[in-house]
Amino acid sequence: MKKLTAVFIALLWLAGCQKPPPIEMPPSTPRWQTAPLRVGTLYSPQIYVSSPRGDSGFDYELASRFADFLNVPLHITPYGNIQELYQALQRDEIDLIAAGLGDTSSRRAQFRLGPPLYYVDQLLVYREGSPPPADLSQLGAPLEIIANSAFVETLQTLQAQYPALQWHEVQDKDNEELLSQIANNELPYTITNSTTLEITRRFMPELRADRVLKAHQAVVWLLPPNHSDSLMSALLRFWHQEKSDGTLEHLVEKYFGHVKRFDYVDTRAFIRAVKNRLPRYEQWFKDYAGELDWRKLAATSYQESHWNPRARSPTGVRGMMMLTIPTAQQLGVQDRLDPQQSIRGGAQYLAQMLETLPASIPSEERMWFALASYNVGFGHVEDARVLAERLGKNPSAWKDVKQVLPLLQKRKYYQATKYGYARGSEAVQYVDNIRRYYDTLVWLDNQQNQPELAENDTDNRAAIRPVPPQSPVTEPETAVQPH
């Protein structure tokens, strides 16, 4: 009996020494559900740009939409280079990286990768007039590329085929700076993405692509490898929504769709005109633009007349904004060759177009529809919208209507429209040209706020310096092809 008692006491003592079973706590609420979404990025025209006129960029705009989807504010922070972005994510200073980075095996080993946003080619870039290499073993010097970029992994793969291939990773420059060195003949070659080249050539037309080093690489966002399940789940739901409703495709069109065409001579001429001709008329563009960005009005005028107040076309339109006689009379323009009157009339006419457009067209796309109407006529644009709807497309999305406008040149389609035949493909090119001119003006305008560029102005980095309007300048009467 005594033995049984002793055993019982011992068991009680052992039980008392054991830890109680843990209390199961409810899972903690992810930080991003109750606080701003913290996004790390890089400065670049297609990624993120901050200016007095507002922030822009594909990644910025998509991140803003993602924050709205999560119903939290957006807190976006640009970092100096890719390594700093990596470190910020590892230190939990940011929730994700949205910086136009490609899907690579090394990044998959370090982070969680979001779904593909768009695709790019990696290109070897050189300067117009310089000889491209026969192959990658004859570059003559190590390639300079961005440190920690997707280009590193591509070169590591290519080195098996070209053992002499060498490169140098730079931390203190971004891709635009390397491309600028190519344009200024300070560097023979570098690598960039196809979208970056297409955008940058609007400011540095000397850039040329030699060959594709890697094709169709997905651009993705990066998330932490741990404790990011809920954020990844939300990102996938958001991506599916943006894909399904066409928003993702719209953003790709907005930032990259109009830069495919490139004309070296035209781009050089435009940059020279910004420096030498625009200052005569800039203040009038600003005075009459109203709620419209004056640079869009100026870009339209360049497309119409190359800022020549005496320009004319075979169809009889004249002046800076190429007004017809009936339109000029309707707008109170007494002298179409007077640049101030023409700019005022053109601005007023564009404003009327914007007001006439259906309310279903979103505010950020109304300008492109208005410009197409300025070029080909409001009735034909409405025909294209009706046709777009018949074809199962969105009549209020420019990316869809720009695909349909060229069909107005085909009998099969135009004979069933109210206003008939129209040169719709010219209207599409007209709008794309203005969008490129506008983007170039924005970039050049931003450069004048960077004092370090002032010492070495070139055609590619011309500063826009406003001057008071002068008396009408006598220009040669130049025939302009109809737009």
Nearest to 103 by CA among 114, 88, 90, 94: 114
Using CB atoms within 10 Å of the CB of residue 73, give its burial: 0 to 12 exposed, 13 to 18 middle, 19+ buried. Answer: exposed
Determine whether 304 is an active site residue: yes
Between helix 366-376 and helix 424-447 the angle, nearest 10°, is 130
Token duo for residue 274: 């910004």
- CB of 132 closer than 8 Å to CB of 210: yes
DSSP readout, 15-34?
HHHSPPPPP-PPPPPPGGGT
In sequence order, which residues have a C-beta less than 8 Å from that of residue 384 and are 6 or more positions away? Answer: 401, 404, 405, 407, 408, 424
Instruction: Please report where in the chains the tokens 């109304």 appear, as a residue.
Output: 366
Environment class of residue 23 by beta-carbon count within 10 Å: exposed (0-12), middle (13-18) or buried (19+)? exposed
Structure token pair of residue 420: 């008939």
Token pair 């690598």: residue: 191
CA–CA distances in Å: residue 276 to residues 97, 227, 269, 463: 41, 56, 10, 10
Cα end-to-end distance, the chain, whole Å = 112
The residues facing 274 across adjacent strands are none
Contact 45, 199 (CB under 8 A): yes
CA–CA distance, 434 with 436 (Å, rounded to integer): 5
Other C-beta atoms lying within 10 Å of the C-beta of residue 52: 7
Residue whose token pair is 């107005």: 408
Instruction: Calculate ∠ Cα 355-358-362, nearest 5°.
Output: 90
Q: How far apart are CA 206 and CA 432, in angstroms?
A: 21
Half-sphere CA count of 424, side-chain side, radius 13 A: 26
Cβ atoms within 10 Å of 91's Cβ, excluding its own: 8
**Amino acid of residue 147:** A
Amino acid (1-letter code) at residue 444: L
Instruction: Give the helix/strand (H/E) hosting 184.
Output: none
> Alpha-carbon distance 312 to 479, whole Å?
5
Strand partners, 169: 145
Q: Catalytic pick from 304, 365, 382, 426?
A: 304
Return the active site residues.
304
